[in-house]
């Protein structure tokens, strides 16, 4: 089977290499030359222009976003160069609207179209362990199946409408972005109290959230390893934007998506657009001003000594406890019935309040004088 592959970025180069290793005849094109040379050395053929890679049985494209895909595939003449019956497998994360429009265009031209976005980072792509979400007419899926199996560990079909695969990918990336943001905020909270991000994330990613996504991004956050980027912040911002766009089309509120997108915009505005999107942890730490706290430890010491400069706050909890003990003593003393004329000395109670055990003891009933009243009555008589 003759295969064309367009787009040899961080993900595409590993995917194309796996096709070459699987024995397929692969023709590749990429805007920059370096990844092309590596593929040619491995046995692929080089296309001089994008349309040269389209004269095949199955064309695979892995381009960054809608605008790039439009420029290369449509403006670059790729779709026009495809022969009838050729299947185009679009493995990029594109918008639902773009995916739907591409499917309609291919159908009018007698071409097959399969949307097959992937789940996995560049190292997973290189290892051929991607999870591939696929949607399209069954005849086109069947033709593309051997190629998909060579690039991934499992193919997940989600129906015949190609845009279904696109929305699954968009939803999955939105969940990943939300998970990263949650870890970023939570680890910033623990750092403010002197618990390192490493210790905190080691606990939660091996107990409550023991999954590859949490463990992988948790490790990146703990080690502050955001370069080289496995998935750039700008791409994450784009994908969360795709989620909001798709949600708007179907009137589905996504309040959390708006928050996460703004955090990513903050990172991009601060020059971190080319860093991994795990760098959301930097945004959370910056907004908490952890860098201005010296060691990043707590501004409080277990509720005892507050570093606020307010001496009254420093003993507030102790004063409350003292007040409670004093109140208890007053209530207790008031409730006792001693000999006539005996009243508790409140000054003594206040002076000794701090020395009293706060554990309440049962109040003993006052002893009744045997025959006291009756004897006096008889004497009066």
| CATH classification at residue 155 | 3.40.50.720
| Residue at 355 is within a domain | no
Write down the pLDDT at residue 236.
97
Write down the pLDDT at residue 320.
54
Give the residue numbers annotated as catalytic, written as ranges: 169
What is the distance of C-alpha 65 from the center of its chain?
A: 21
Same-domain check for residues 151 and 33: yes
Range of the domain at 45: 2-160
Write down the pLDDT at residue 293.
84
Same-domain check for residues 238 and 260: yes
- Distance, CA of 364 to CA of 155 (rounded, Å): 78
Same-domain check for residues 155 and 229: no
Residue 204 belongs to a domain with what CATH number?
A: 1.10.1040.10
Write down the pLDDT at residue 330.
60
Same-domain check for residues 281 and 138: no
| Residue at 366 is within a domain | no
What is the distance of C-alpha 204 from the center of its chain?
A: 13
pTM of the model: 0.77
Please report, in tens digits, the pLDDT of each residue of the chain (381 residues total).
999 999 999 999 999 999 999 999 999 999 999 999 999 999 999 999 999 999 999 999 999 899 999 999 999 999 999 999 999 999 999 999 999 999 999 999 999 999 999 999 999 999 999 999 999 999 999 999 999 999 999 999 999 999 999 999 999 999 999 999 999 999 999 999 999 999 999 999 999 999 999 999 999 999 999 999 999 999 999 999 999 999 999 999 999 999 999 999 999 999 999 999 999 999 999 999 999 886 444 444 444 444 444 444 444 555 555 555 555 546 555 554 444 444 445 454 444 444 444 444 454 555 554 444 444 444 444
Write down the pLDDT at residue 335.
52
Same-domain check for residues 138 and 233: no
Write down the pLDDT at residue 109.
97
Write down the pLDDT at residue 219.
97
| Residue at 195 is within a domain | yes
């Amino acid at each position: 089977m003759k295969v064309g592959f367009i787009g040899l970025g961080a993900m595409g180069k590993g995917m194309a290499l796996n096709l070459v290793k699987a024995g397929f005849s692969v023709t590749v094109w990429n805007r920059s030359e370096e990844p092309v040379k590596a593929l040619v050395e491995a046995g692929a053929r080089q296309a001089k222009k994008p349309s040269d890679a389209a004269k095949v049985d199955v064309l695979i494209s892995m381009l960054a976003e809608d605008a790039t895909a439009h420029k290369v595939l449509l403006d670059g003449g790729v779709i026009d160069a495809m022969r009838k019956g050729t299947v185009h497998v679009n493995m990029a994360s594109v918008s639902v609207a773009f995916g739907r429009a591409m499917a309609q265009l291919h159908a009018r031209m007698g071409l097959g179209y399969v949307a097959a976005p992937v789940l996995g980072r560049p190292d997973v792509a290189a290892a051929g362990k991607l999870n591939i979400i696929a949607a399209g007419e069954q005849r086109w899926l069947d033709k593309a199946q051997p190629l998909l199996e060579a690039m991934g560990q499992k193919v997940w079909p989600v129906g015949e409408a190609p845009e279904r695969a696109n929305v699954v990918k968009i939803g999955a990336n939105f969940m990943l972005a939300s998970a990263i943001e949650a870890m970023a905020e939570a680890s910033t909270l623990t750092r403010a109290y002197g618990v390192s991000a490493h210790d905190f994330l080691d606990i939660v990613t091996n107990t409550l959230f023991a999954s590859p996504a949490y463990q992988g991004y948790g490790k990146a956050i703990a080690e502050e390893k955001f370069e080289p980027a496995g998935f750039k912040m700008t791409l994450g911002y784009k994908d969360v934007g795709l989620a909001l766009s798709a949600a708007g089309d179907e009137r589905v509120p996504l309040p959390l998506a708006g928050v996460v997108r703004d955090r990513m915009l903050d990172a991009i505005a601060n020059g971190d657009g080319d860093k991994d999107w795990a760098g959301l942890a930097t945004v959370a730490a910056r907004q908490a001003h952890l860098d201005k706290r010296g060691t990043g430890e707590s501004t409080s010491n277990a509720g005892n000594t507050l570093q606020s400069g307010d001496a009254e706050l420093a003993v507030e909890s102790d004063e409350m406890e003292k007040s409670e003990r004093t109140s208890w003593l007053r209530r207790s003393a008031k409730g006792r019935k001693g000999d006539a004329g005996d009243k508790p000395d409140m000054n003594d109670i206040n002076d000794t309040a701090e020395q009293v055990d706060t554990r309440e003891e049962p109040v003993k009933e006052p002893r009744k004088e045997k025959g006291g009243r009756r004897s006096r009555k008889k004497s009066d008589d």
